[in-house]
Amino acid sequence: MPIRLGKAGKATAFNELGRRRDDEGDQDGALEAYAQASAVHPYWAAPWYNAGLIHKYRGEWAASLQANARAVQCEPDNQGALWNLGIAATALGDWATARRAWRQYGIGIPDGEGPIDFFVGLTPIRVHGDEASEVVWADRIDPARAILRSVPTPACGHRWGDLVLHDGAANGYRMRGDREVPVFDALELIAPSEHGTYEVTIEGVAQEDIDALIRRFEAADASAENWTTSMQVLCRACSEGRPHGEGHNHEPGEPPGARGPWRLGIAAREEGAALRILAEWRETAAPGCVLGELRCLLMGVPRT
């Protein structure tokens, strides 16, 4: 005899079908299956949450908000749905919904009507470009937004000062001092920085001279980073895991000599401003300093 499934059994079967289709890369088919599960059992949170997850990674924010809101209605303490509801609301600028989601999650978000002002701290964010992904340090200004504070390489398509929307699920870990902190993946560029990315090579000076140059840029509403010493290329397993933990080591490459050469990434609004800072610093540098040509790698985006 055929086995007859009740409503709960049918909904579970459709939900599992959606998960299999999603694993196979058929997101449209997965969404169809989740919709069938919800039609059979509209008060079950799981298919709503699963649909919202697909919409999140597609950047379909209105659909993600709707699906996660339904999941929260079905299960008010569903932590994953609450977090993704907050992300979707943040992407849409629906600050009232974002505040309700974060508070229901358990975060003490302040009152207000506009963008949320809730500084979280310095956090590693993985940004993605057409050519490469890169983990950079950023200031989290609320649970789902961060401003990049490293000078990224142009391969990742991002700039110092970019405002990005990011996920809330840890995808790797890094050390900040003696404390381990999670890496979050950027989901979307919210507002590009006005600062372009430049590169210059310098030889004939010591590390402390380069540090002094970096401080000059930081004092002038700009930034600079010694890419020679700050960057390390990791395999995917280490990047999305714990590169500071036990496992295989990644050789840092040939170290620079005591007087370089140094490769600097620079963030500045205008090329002229970067050239002025370099020229002023050059006057105080060692006589043997060799300053390479300043190259623009990625233009900033003027605000309109």
pLDDT in tens, 179-197: 999 999 999 999 999 999 9
pLDDT at 254 over 70: no
User: Going by DSSP bridges, is the β-strand pair 223-226/179-182 parallel, antiparallel, or unpaired?
Assistant: unpaired
* pLDDT > 70 fraction of the chain, expressed in percent and rounded: 94
37 and 80 housed in the same domain? yes
* DSSP label of 297: E
Q: Which of 80, 105, 130 is the last residue of a domain?
A: 105
pLDDT at 167 over 60: yes
What pLDDT was estimated at residue 4?
A: 45
32 and 95 housed in the same domain? yes
What pLDDT was estimated at residue 173?
A: 94
Examine residue 162 and state whether it is found in any structural domain, yes or no.
yes
Distance CA 181, CA 6 (A): 45
Q: What is the mean pLDDT of residues 138-160?
A: 97
CB burial readout 102-131, b (16+ within 10 A) else e: bebbebebeeeeeebebeeeebbbbbbeee
251 and 207 housed in the same domain? yes
54 and 129 housed in the same domain? no
pLDDT at 258 over 60: yes
What pLDDT was estimated at residue 245?
A: 65
294 and 202 housed in the same domain? yes
Q: How many domains does the chain have?
A: 3
How many helical (H) and strand (E) elements, i.e. helices and strands, does the chain have? 10, 12
Q: What is the mean pLDDT of residues 122-132?
A: 94
Distances (CA, A) of 262 to 90, 258, 302: 40, 10, 30
Query: Which of 2-16, 62-76, 139-153 is predicted with the least confidence, judged by mean pLDDT?
Result: 2-16
294 and 204 housed in the same domain? yes
Q: What is the DSSP string of 124-180?
A: EEEEE-SS-EEEEEEEEEETTEEEE-S---GGGT--TT-EEEE-SS---EEEETTEE
96 and 173 housed in the same domain? no
CB burial of residue 253 (10 Å; 0-12, 13-18, 19+): exposed
Examine residue 269 and state whether it is found in any structural domain, yes or no.
yes
Cis peptide before 252 (omega within 30 of 0): no
Examine residue 47 and state whether it is found in any structural domain, yes or no.
yes
148 and 95 housed in the same domain? no
What is the band of 217 on the pLDDT scale with cuts at 50, 70, 90?
very high
Distance CA 166, CA 116 (A): 15
What pLDDT was estimated at residue 250?
A: 57
Q: Which of 58, 276, 303 is nearest to 195 (CA)?
A: 303
Q: What is the mean pLDDT of residues 214-237?
A: 91
Examine residue 66 and state whether it is found in any structural domain, yes or no.
yes
pLDDT at 2 over 60: no
261 and 184 housed in the same domain? no
**What domain range is 144 assigned to?**
121-191
* pLDDT > 90 fraction of the chain, expressed in percent and rounded: 82
Examine residue 245 and state whether it is found in any structural domain, yes or no.
yes
User: Going by DSSP bridges, is the β-strand pair 145-148/163-166 parallel, antiparallel, or unpaired?
Assistant: antiparallel
Q: Which of 70, 105, 140 is the last residue of a domain?
A: 105
298 phi and psi angles, rounded to 5 deg: -155, 120
Q: Which of 47, 78, 105 is the last residue of a domain?
A: 105
Examine residue 175 and state whether it is found in any structural domain, yes or no.
yes
Q: What is the mean pLDDT of residues 132-140?
A: 96
Q: What is the CATH number of the domain that holds 101?
A: 1.25.40.10
pLDDT in tens, 3-12: 445 678 999 9
What pLDDT was estimated at residue 257?
A: 77
Q: What is the CATH number of the domain that holds 233?
A: 3.30.70.120
Q: What is the mean pLDDT of residues 91-113?
A: 96
233 and 178 housed in the same domain? no
Examine residue 90 and state whether it is found in any structural domain, yes or no.
yes
71 and 156 housed in the same domain? no
181 and 100 housed in the same domain? no
pLDDT in tens, 261-293: 999 999 999 999 999 999 999 998 888 899 999
Distances (CA, A) of 230 to 122, 135, 192, 252: 16, 11, 23, 10
Examine residue 114 and state whether it is found in any structural domain, yes or no.
no
